[in-house]
Amino acid sequence: MSAMVPPAPNPKATVASWKYDEIRPMLLEAGRLVAADEAERRVLMLVNPNMRAPYTTDTIYAGLQLILPGETAPAHRHTAFALRFIVEGERGFTAVEGKKVIMRRGDVILTPSWQWHDHGHEGDGPMIWLDGLDLPLYQAFPTNFAEMYKDERYPSEEVESAKDIQIGWEEVQNDLDARTGSHAIYNYRSPSGGPLSLTMGGQAERVDAETKSPPIRESCSFVYHCYEGSGRSELKLANGETRTLEWTKGDTFAVPAWTERVHVASELSYLFAVNDAPLLNNLGMYRKEQ
Ligand code: 1HN
């Protein structure tokens, strides 16, 4: 029976990390080699070393997407949900179902299922963000499809703010900083009060300088991104293996399901993470040990 119902969760994904100063040059090289509209989306997929695309963890796809000045990533829509965490650049935009939203570093911007969206860039220099999509689910539920719009851009108007799809960094950090204790977790909520989507959620964490977060393990998995600071995460996988990952600003790392994590900050640090907690909660599969 234990092959079918193991004594502990056994994710296929392993711990993995992508250092920004190593992968940024590759992304820029992709920028030289492949036009954004040629690729539809120019993304450096963060594929879990134990798996193949689209798996960053068993349930989350993540990648770094690049748009160069003047480029357009053409309008399309798909059943998959996407959230983006803006890493670098100014005056890039994403237009979602007619709302053109300017991307600012640290923003979370949502692309709900089946909404038309295109990306562009009216500033200088590279515009880079982390995409989190629920693509792995569609390997089990073959209900994923995309539709291309007839034109490059779906008609849109620039908006000052789009509270339904954009959460700025400032309110997140204000909330984290207002909390007592050397470690705090902020769970992103959609304006309607629930998690960001039916499948994917977001969280941000503050870890004060020279402190560590309490050990936590959850049945959901995470793709973490260091917004600011530096430190390491001490990870104990579901199979008992232990791994330590060093991180600094811009680095991204995957934490598989049921991995115990302790973040150790060398300086005041802020981490963002996309997770699949909403999916597991909706299916009654979410567990947490703290
Ligand atoms: C996609 O449509 C986006 O809309 C980003 O920006 C990443 C990765 C694989 C397949 C589709 C986007 C994607 C993607």
Mean of the pLDDT values across residues 279-287? 97
Q: Is 67 in the pocket of ligand 1 (CB under 6 A)?
A: no
- What's the pLDDT score for residue 264? 99
The parent domain of residue 39 ranges over 16-289
Percent of the chain with pLDDT over 70: 100
Per-chain mean pLDDT for the chain: 97
Angle at 10 between CA 7 and CA 11, to 5 degrees: 160
Instruction: Note whether 94 and 117 are within 8 A (CB).
Output: yes
Mean of the pLDDT values across residues 61-74? 97
Q: Say which CATH number the domain at 215 has.
A: 2.60.120.10
Ligand 1 center–CA 41 separation, angstroms? 6
pLDDT at 161 over 90: no
Residue 6 lies in a domain: no
> Which residue's C-alpha comes closest to atom 12 of ligand 1?
41
pTM of whole model > 0.95? yes
Q: Is 82 in the pocket of ligand 1 (CB under 6 A)?
A: yes
pLDDT at 38 over 90: no
Residue 1 lies in a domain: no
Helix (H) or strand (E) holding 63: strand 61-67
Residue 272 lies in a domain: yes
Distances (CA, A) of 279 to 133, 149, 158, 199: 12, 29, 32, 4
pLDDT at 117 over 90: yes
What's the structural domain count of the chain? 1
Residue 138 lies in a domain: yes
Mean of the pLDDT values across residues 185-206? 95
